[in-house]
Amino acid sequence: MPTVEMESAVDDAGKVWPAQNKWNAKNRNKLRAHRAVAAALRRHELKRGKCEVCGSFRVDAHHDRYDEPLNVRWFCRKHHQQLHADLRRASK
């Protein structure tokens, strides 16, 4: 298999987007926020919390605002996805 260095991106809700996908500005903001969190965690500037709902330690960062990349809340995969599903419903 040829190795094409196409960078794929994982968004805030854990969905993987192939690099071929044309990202709009909002998604780029999202990715930037996600990367800022990963970098801050590596540098110990940010500490991983627990899921706000169930207290699980296996958490992802959730952004209320992508223009505040280090202003995050922590949710496990399940409750994170649930939150996004609720947000999607609420925005319709």
DSSP letters spanning 33-60: HHHHHHHHHHTTSS-----TTT--SSEE
The DSSP code for 15 is: -
Nearer to Zn ion, 5 or 34 (CB): 34
Contact 14, 59 (CB under 8 A): no
Q: How many residues bind Zn ion (CB under 5 A)?
A: 8
Segment near Zn ion (CB under 5 A); pick from 19-27, 28-36, 39-47, 51-59: 51-59
Q: Binding of Zn ion at residue 76 (CB under 5 A)?
A: yes
Could you list the residues that contact Zn ion (CB under 5 A)?
12, 51, 53-54, 56, 62, 76, 79
